[in-house]
Chain A
Amino acid sequence: MRYLPLTDTDRQEMLAKCGASSVDDLFVDVPEVARLDGPIHDLPMHASEMAVERHMKALAGKNLAAENTPFFLGAGAYRHHIPASVDTVISRGEFLTAYTPYQPEIAQGTLQMLFEFQSQVARLYGCAVANASLYDGSTACWEAVAMATRVTKRNRAVLSGSLHPHYAQVVKTMAQFTGDEIADAQPAITTEPDTDGLTARIDENTACVVVQYPDILGRLTDLSKVADAAHAKGALLVVVNTEPVALGAIKSPGELGADIVVGEGQALGVGLQFGGPYLGLFAVRNPKHVRQMPGRLCGETVDAEGKRGFVLTLSTREQHIRREKATSNICTNSGLCALAFTTHMTLLGEKGLRQLAAENHRLACLAADRLEKVPGVSLLNTAFFNEFTLMLEGKPAREIVRDLADRGVLGGVSLGRLYPGVEALEHALLVAVTETTTEEDIETLANELEAVLELEPAQ
């Protein structure tokens, strides 16, 4: 077997050293009931690299890759061009095959990278401190709610109806078990989010208000009013961002008064990957809140010779020391995805990120204008960054998405998929446009949408 270096001679010599006549002697502590008589049945035997590659390629071939089709999906996962050097960097064995940097003298590469990553995320979010990443945006969202309950010693979270429904579900799932009270709502189909309705739900027991920016319908609104309303009641504002590229064009959540900013970092460097692994971003505006943060933190220090170096720090918050009193049970982070993100960010820089954001917005404006002209289609948003909501006449949008897929166009995410069974939302289609979208793609979507809608005229 190509991954196993021991030879049979080695095995015999080593067994002898262990006083064992066969390898079975090393498994004597396994009880009789659990001993097997040979390789597990019903599974294939080993295979060559070529054979495995053939098998996996056949499976991959059954999927329609985004690169091969006009593609407009978003709703929490965005397709952006990843510079070739990102993959070169994350493929370096010293990064790929390293572990959590518990021995800092021989892990300065990972540690310095994480320090740079934390600095970039903090700046992007308008915060003081970011951690070294969590699993993804949705779990980061729950961690933010849990942290807010620790900071405020209150147990009620108010979720905006325009928060990604999967994120809201993750929060509600966890809250069932912790006993925290979660007030949520569904998005209303309005051109602008109902900020007044949201702030009216904040009370003296509210630990935090959770809003998404841009929101699930792609809408943009000034959150400083929500921040003021939350702070007036002693609550924290948690802002969720699922598209970091947007922050190259719009004000940072920290600037608008967010106390905790969390998000999905997948859009930069990581790729779509059918939903994972992704990259949870987590930052706080007030440095005093650092000791209530979940996850790993990398900090600067000096070595015994006075040279600058980096270490994991404030570890007493974490499960391996604090056990049942830890701020989170999290252990693994998304180290390699953080490396991809930070490499992409370094290639972009201030200038590149602003250009990338501007290009996304330019194409999104073009697409919105063109698609709005399709008969039976109207644009909901007055404001958006690179994603907006179309209202479609006729069949539910979920069926239209399937019809478009049959015609080789991945036309967007239907709200019917995100909110199954909610009739008020079933005619809404979310369309995301990035720098990877061509003007030709937009034209194709407009034409195919028109064709599909004509086939099924409004009743």
Chain B
Amino acid sequence: MPRYFTDEHEWIDVEDDSATVGITDYAQEQLGDIVFVELPEVGTALDKGGDAAVVESVKAASDVYAPITGEVTEGNTMLEDEPALVNSSPEEDGWFFRMSIADASELEGLMDEAGYKEFVDGL
């Protein structure tokens, strides 16, 4: 299952025609204790680069952008009661939402794991 990364610190797992999206370990560390995640409703049409979710710490709110174009198929309801999952397991249990893939070619512009690591090291 290939995993891609964006320069806005989102990760995206692709399995057949569905993708799972979350924020990276680096992102959660920058944000600090996550207190709330506002997820898009199922059925929401997302445009690549557009607002998709909001992740909040006590003193900051950050937008999470759609890494590709598609429609939201599922939100991680676990985060409603346990936003801390984003801190403890950002790249597994703390996933944000699943979406359809409108145009697989959009994935080509994203980074792979090694590329993202290099990107973060350069920050």
Q: Which residues does A use to contact B, with CB under 8 Å?
A: 291, 315-316, 321-322, 325
Contact = CB atoms under 8 A, between A and B. Distances in A.
Contact of A291 (B36, B57, B58, B59): B36
Interface in B68-118: none
A322 B36 CA distance: 14
B61 interface: yes
Nearest to B51: A325
B123 interface: no
Q: Which of A315, A316, A321, A325 has most B Cβ within 10 Å?
A: A316
Contacts of A321: 59-61
Contacts, number: 16
A313 to B, nearest CB: 8
16 contacts: A291-B36, A291-B38, A315-B58, A315-B59, A316-B36, A316-B56, A316-B57, A316-B58, A316-B59, A316-B60, A316-B61, A321-B59, A321-B60, A321-B61, A322-B61, A325-B61
Contacts of B57: 316
Interface in B30-74: 36, 38, 56-61
A317 to B, nearest CB: 8
Contacts of B61: 316, 321-322, 325
Q: Which of B57, B58, B59, B61 has most A Cβ within 10 Å?
A: B61
A283 B58 CA distance: 22
Contacts of B60: 316, 321
The 6 tightest CB contacts between A and B, nearest first, are A316-B61, A316-B56, A322-B61, A321-B61, A321-B60, A321-B59
A321 B60 CA distance: 6
A303 to B, nearest CB: 15
Contacts of B38: 291
A291 B35 CA distance: 12
Contacts of B59: 315-316, 321
Contacts of A316: 36, 56-61
Contacts of A291: 36, 38
Given A316-B59, A316-B61, A321-B61, 7 more contacts: A291-B36, A315-B58, A316-B36, A316-B56, A316-B57, A316-B58, A316-B60
A322 B57 CA distance: 12
Contacts of B58: 315-316
A264 to B, nearest CB: 31
A311 to B, nearest CB: 9
Nearest to A325: B61
Contacts of B56: 316
Nearest to A322: B61
A316 B36 CA distance: 10
A291 B60 CA distance: 14
A321 B36 CA distance: 15
B26 to A, nearest CB: 21
A325 B61 CA distance: 10
A347 B57 CA distance: 39
A371 to B, nearest CB: 55
Nearest to A326: B61
Nearest to B60: A321
A55 B59 CA distance: 48
Contacts of A315: 58-59
A291 B36 CA distance: 10
B93 to A, nearest CB: 23
A250 B60 CA distance: 42
A19 to B, nearest CB: 38
Nearest to B41: A153
A214 to B, nearest CB: 38
A315 B61 CA distance: 9
Nearest to B55: A316
A316 B60 CA distance: 6
A321 B56 CA distance: 11
Nearest to B80: A288
Nearest to B59: A321
B77 to A, nearest CB: 13
A315 B60 CA distance: 9
